[in-house]
Structure 1
Amino acid sequence: MIEPIRNLNDICFNSRKGLYKHWILSNKSDYSKMCDFMQKINFSIQDLNSEIPQLDKPTMKSIIYVIILVVWIQEAFEKIEKLYRQDVMSYFVYSKDSELSNGKKYINAIRSFAVAHPLSTSRHPQFGFDGNYICVDIRDFKRDITSPFSKSDTIYELNFNGLYANGNRKCDFYFYVYSDKDDGMKFFRYIGCNFDDIYRVARLYIDKLYALDKHLRKSKKNDYR
């Protein structure tokens, strides 16, 4: 079972500190924007957590929905970062930035392949998406009638580290793809993904949001002229 994502209560219930300090914003008029972005993140967390009980039997709708919710958290966080004064943000360091960078690339690749450009994803070669694969469906591999006849060398797994061969068929869901380069689009290939990786991206963004809040709580107006 996937662990629920931490909510924003510890930030929102201390609304006069950290992220909610007015003087830290580049423009005080952006305060309402910041609140809107925080609300977007909080609602997305709630929706992600509410999906967890159903993910043992995922549907295409639930898979795409989870991906989009994580992307919404990503985009809202990046919007929030840009609202604060550069001199204050320049001293902020997040210890897991390298891991988050990989997570961002991963979720952007998944989003492109599942939602934005399923027939022409070519901008994510690190994850095998260089225009070779065309996504035609997303399914739970275990319940598909063709799975017993699939060769292990046609099954792959996609995670933070990229795309690699994996014939154990233990992923949560699979992209059903064709490859023009490999076999002239004659046979299915299967690219597996796990919800743990997708939720991990969301957790990293929430963890960074808490780290930023902690940094801003310690920041004093008198230290910045």
Structure 2
Amino acid sequence: MIEKVRNLNDICFCSRRGIYKHWILNQKSDYQKMCDYLQKINFSIQDLNSEISNLDEPHMRSIIYVIILVVWIQEAYEKIENLYRKDLMSSFTYHREAELQNAKKYINAIRSFAVAHPLSTNRHPQFGFDGNFICVDIRTFQNDVTSGFIKSEFINELRINGLQANGNRDCDFYFYVYSDKDDGMRFFRYIGCNFKDIYHVADIYVDKLYELNNYLKKQKKNDYR
């Protein structure tokens, strides 16, 4: 079951505190940028949560849409973090940073294979994307009449920690791929993905945003010269 991503109400309704402080920014003009990036995250969360009801029988456009929304959250958060003074940010540590870094690698690999470079993704070897696979389609097994005849050894599952050869036929959707190295692109291979993993990436970036906000609330201007 896919859980809704936490909204930003507890941040957005606390103006002049936390991330809304002016003095913590690199320059005055960055305040409007911060507000714009925050709005981008907020709208993306709303769209992700609205999309959940459409994911029981997803189409390719829904799959791509969800991936892009999560990428927007990721990129907007990173933009926000770079707006703040380096001396202030040097003491900020996120308690789930290792988990976030895995999530970042995961969503970057998914984005590359699904959207940016489906025919030549080669920079994500942890997830099996080392230039071996070429993505030719994204679909579910629900509408594939041949799925019952697929050999289990041709089915992998892509999780946040990497690619698993487990023959899972219950993933939410699959990349239909060919492998030049394995069989000269003769047979389909299948890489399954789950929406809960993709939504988890959004969750952890939102969690880090809340932790950053709480950290910034505690910072005092007199402690920085």
Shared fold (TM-score greater than 0.5)? Answer: yes
Amino acid at match of 2:209: L
Residue 91 of structure 1: CA displacement? 1.0
What residue in structure 1 maps to residue 51 of structure 2? 51
Residue 166 of structure 1: CA displacement? 1.6
1:141 aligns to what SS in structure 2? coil
Residue 127 of structure 1: CA displacement? 0.6
What residue in structure 1 maps to residue 10 of structure 2? 10
What residue in structure 2 maps to residue 93 of structure 1? 93
Amino acid at match of 1:27: Q
Q: Percent identity?
A: 76
Gaps of 5+ in 1: none
CA contact (8 A) 2:157 2:168 kept: no
Amino acid at match of 1:197: D
- Please, what TM-score do these two structures have when normalized by structure 1? 0.99
Q: Counterparts of 1:15 and 1:140 in 2: how far apart (Å)?
A: 44
Kindly provide the CA deviation profile for residues 70-123 of structure 1, in whole angstroms up to 9, marking residues without a partner as x.
000000000000000011111111000000000000000000000000000001
What residue in structure 2 maps to residue 185 of structure 1? 185
1:126 aligns to what SS in structure 2? helix
Amino acid at match of 1:75: E
The correspondence of residues 1-225 of structure 1 with structure 2, limited to 5 A, is: 1-225=1-225
Residue 222 of structure 1: CA displacement? 0.7
Residue 180 of structure 1: CA displacement? 0.5
CA contact (8 A) 2:172 2:192 kept: yes
Kindly provide the CA deviation profile for residues 102-150 of structure 1, in whole angstroms up to 9, marking residues without a partner as x.
0000000000000000000001011100000000000011321110110
Bigger drift between 140-149 and 82-91 goes to: 140-149
Q: Counterparts of 2:181 and 2:195 in 1: how far apart (Å)?
A: 29
Q: Counterparts of 1:168 and 1:206 in 2: how far apart (Å)?
A: 29
Q: Counterparts of 2:77 and 2:68 in 1: how far apart (Å)?
A: 14
Kindly provide the CA deviation profile for residues 137-176 of structure 1, in whole angstroms up to 9, marking residues without a partner as x.
0001132111011000000000111112121301100000
Amino acid at match of 1:45: I
CA contact (8 A) 2:25 2:84 kept: yes
Q: Counterparts of 1:175 and 1:196 in 2: how far apart (Å)?
A: 16
Amino acid at match of 2:218: K
CA contact (8 A) 2:156 2:168 kept: no
Once superposed, what is the RMSD of the aligned Cα atoms? 0.7
1:191 aligns to what SS in structure 2? strand
2:168 aligns to what SS in structure 1? coil
Q: Counterparts of 1:64 and 1:15 in 2: how far apart (Å)?
A: 34
2:135 aligns to what SS in structure 1? strand
Amino acid at match of 2:74: Q
2:29 aligns to what SS in structure 1? helix
Amino acid at match of 1:16: R
Which structure 1 residue ranges, 4+ long, deviate > 2 Å from structure 2? Answer: none
- Please, what TM-score do these two structures have when normalized by structure 2? 0.99
1:205 aligns to what SS in structure 2? helix
Amino acid at match of 1:9: N
Q: Counterparts of 1:32 and 1:71 in 2: how far apart (Å)?
A: 21
Residue 67 of structure 1: CA displacement? 0.2
